[in-house]
Amino acid sequence: MPKFAANLTMLFTEKPFLERFEAAHKNGFKAVEFLFPYPWPAEEIKALLDKYQLELVLHNLPPGDWNAGERGIACHPDRVDEFKEGVAQAIAYAQVLGAKQLNCLAGKMPEHASAEQAHATLVSNLKYAAQEFKKHGLRLLIEPINFYDMPGFYLNHTQQALDLIDEVDADNLFVQYDIYHMQRMEGEIAATLEKHLAKIGHIQIGDNPGRHEPGTGELNYPFLFNHLDKIGYVGSIGCEYKPKTNTEAGLHWLKTVTI
């Protein structure tokens, strides 16, 4: 069974961020992920990872102004220099924290750019990031996100991500496949995972509707976990969902799997 990583941006939110590492450890997790480490010194986070014997499997590149509603800037033609600065910052954090792969949010479609300009910018930025990441042995991920939860987001479908990977033509670029987002956009979860496994670098989970813990919605997660074993997925599974009540009360689903 693949290892499960607690997403500390969405789980244990009853506690301040830096206290969630201990909570993840106490609840049996051996790995974590989160959106952004940048508000804290990398050394402070590394000390917590070491103290609680946690592996960091993933964090994201800087997204622009998240609090103002930005969700990445990789497709923004007027933000290329800022994007490149973010690549350098992300690499610096990954080197301290031990992360081996990082996710690049494509961003929302910019208002003052054509679809062609946004696409060309995204491809160029992904080529740059992949080249810089490769110098440091890092994998770059791109994530399709459903347009119901995130209207205007540029990247929405698995095939769109795969086409980008083909166009960028970098052997360290993969899909971050979020089962919740893709259930909302296209379904066919098991078949898609099997067909494109070689291009999927990381998987995240959440049930639908509501993006709550496995077992609260329509997805058959026991089947999907067994399916991932059957098809040979060996990466981590990020628990990126909103607990229906609180995190610990919603961890009952883990009793059915081995973490």
- What is the domain partition of the chain in residue ranges? 4-256
143, 186, 188, 194: which one is catalytic?
Answer: 143
State mean pLDDT over 24-47.
97
Quick check: is 143 catalytic? yes
- In residues, how long is the chain? 259
pLDDT of the residue at 60: 98
The values of phi and psi at residue 169, to 5°, are 60, 50
Beta bridge partners of 96: none
Rounded CA gap, 2 and 11, in Å? 19
- Quick one: which of 185, 184, 190, 189 has its CA closest to 209? 184
Considering only the top CATH level, what class is 4-256? alpha beta
Query: pLDDT digits over 214-252, tens only?
Result: 999 999 999 999 999 999 999 999 999 999 999 999 998
Alpha-carbon distances, residue 180 vs 13, 36, 83, 139, 144 (angstroms): 20, 20, 27, 22, 11
Is the pLDDT confidence value at 255 over 90? no
Output the average pLDDT for the chain: 96
pLDDT digits (tens, 9 = 90+) for 149-191: 999 999 999 999 999 999 999 999 999 999 999 999 999 999 9
- CA separation for the pair 162, 15 (Å, rounded): 37
CB 193 within 8 A of CB 229: no
Average pLDDT over residues 182-207: 98
pLDDT of residue 118: 98
Q: What is the DSSP letter of 231?
A: H
Confidence of residue 259 (pLDDT cuts 50, 70, 90): very low
Q: How far apart (Å, rounded) are the C-alpha atoms in residues 201 and 142?
A: 9
**Burial, 9: exposed, middle or buried (Cβ in 10 Å; 0-12, 13-18, 19+)?**
middle
Q: Give pLDDT, residue 143.
A: 98
213 is catalytic: no
Q: Which residues pair with 200 in a beta bridge?
A: 175
Mean pLDDT computed over 64-71: 96
Where residue 110 falls among pLDDT bands split at 50, 70, 90? Answer: very high
Kindly name the residue from 14, 186, 240, 248 that is annotated as catalytic. 240
pLDDT above 90 (res 4):
yes
Confidence of residue 258 (pLDDT cuts 50, 70, 90): low
Spatial contact of 161 and 186, defined as CB atoms under 8 Å apart: no
What is the pLDDT averaged over residues 46-63? 98
Burial of 57 from C-beta contacts in 10 A (0-12 / 13-18 / 19+): buried
pLDDT in tens, 113-139: 999 999 999 999 999 999 999 999 999
Q: Are 57 and 259 a contacting pair, CB within 8 Å? A: no
Q: What confidence score (pLDDT) does residue 146 get?
A: 98
State the Cα–Cα distance between residues 153 and 110, nearest whole angstrom. Answer: 9
CA angle at 204 for the pair 199 and 209, rounded to the nearest 5° = 125
